[in-house]
Amino acid sequence: MIGATPPTSQELTRSSERLSFIYVEHSVIHREDSAITATDTQGTVHIPAASLGALMLGPGTRVTHHAMMLLAECGATAVWVGERGVRYYAHGSSLAKTARLLQVQADKVSNVRKRLEVAREMYNMRFPDEDVSELTMQQLRGEEGARVRRIYREHSERTGVAWNSLKYDPNNFDGSDPINKALSAAHACLYGVVHAVVVSLGCSPGLGFVHTGHSRAFIYDIADLYKAEITIPASFEVVAESTEDIGPRTRRAVREKIKDGKILQQCARDIQKLLIPDQIEENEWYAEVLSLWGENGELLQGGQNYGGESA
């Protein structure tokens, strides 16, 4: 076999225990042994690939074949983003080797009753002091709108940063006011981290329960669970301190809150709680098992010749 031997699942860091994200721009991304290297005019930085959740590649980055091969082998998600990290373009491979969570996700999102149950549980995670067990989707949206407006108002009063409304034009980042710039950059970081966890567990980013019709609907569903805790307070605190270099400072602030709050672990647990409440070992998500489907719902062992079966 040509090249380095890929690491086994047992040698890799679990998705819930990995670094959250690294944002890189105007650099050459290469590989040195088992580390990803980022080189610019100021020097070279080594990044441990096996413990990285998401590598966010901004403008001016060039990636070598060996670097992408290492990221794929380690199950680290490469996310191509726009300037300041506020646009999403594409992502890399998944760490998961099983489709169990994906199958459950597809089943629940395709059934109105099950989908509403998951949506209610999402709102319950965000607002645990309210009983949402009997609310319709329209009522849930109304409750969410009132809660979110109050959260923005509270952080505005706490930090002294003026707040009017959420306004984001992806084609004109600099046209927004400072707090909306910070929120855009903060949410983009959170989306990248959540995307890394979602695909590492083998789920579909596009099968959302509250959001729908977008290729990242499930990402927005899950990210909404943590905005009040992470991105909203971080954004107001950054702008209250200074309106200079909002993008980089916001990313660093979000990364600190993600690290302190152990959000990767929480995100993995929350997705499992939403889709498979009966708890499975996380190692099962990475077990490489290929079965054949039977029309009566049974699973048959793959890799065998069934040509002797009767028609």
Give the 3-state secondary structure of residue 168.
coil
Cβ(180)–Cβ(235) below 8 Å = no
The Cα–Cα gap between 29 and 115 comes to 41
pLDDT of residue 244: 92
Q: Is 144 annotated as a binding residue?
A: yes
pLDDT above 90 (res 6): no
Helices assigned H by DSSP within 43-136: 65-74, 100-109, 112-126
Look at 61-65, 183-187, 202-206, 294-298 and tell me which has the smallest mean pLDDT. 294-298
* Residue ranges, CATH 3.100.10.20, the chain: 9-91
The Cα–Cα gap between 239 and 250 comes to 9
Nearest to 23 by CA among 173, 193, 178, 168: 193
Q: Is 131 annotated as a binding residue?
A: no
Eight-class DSSP state of 85: G
Cβ(161)–Cβ(239) below 8 Å = yes
The DSSP code sequence of 243-298 is SSSHHHHHHHHHHHHHHHHTHHHHHHHHHHHHH-TT---GGGGG----EEE-TTS-
* Residue ranges, CATH 1.20.120.920, the chain: 100-277
Give 9-91's CATH code, choosing from 3.20.20.70, 3.30.930.10, 3.100.10.20, 3.10.20.740. Answer: 3.100.10.20
Q: Is 3.30.230.10 the CATH number for 100-277?
A: no
Report the percent of the chain where pLDDT is more than 90.
Answer: 35
Give the 3-state secondary structure of residue 134.
coil
What sign does the dihedral 77-83-84-89 (CA atoms) show? negative
The Cα–Cα gap between 88 and 118 comes to 26
pLDDT above 50 (res 56): yes
Q: Is 65 annotated as a binding residue?
A: no
pTM: 0.70
pLDDT of residue 287: 55
The Cα–Cα gap between 56 and 25 comes to 9
Look at 107-111, 179-183, 240-244, 302-306 and tell me which has the smallest mean pLDDT. 302-306
Cβ(206)–Cβ(214) below 8 Å = yes
Report the percent of the chain where pLDDT is more than 70.
Answer: 77
pLDDT above 90 (res 225): yes
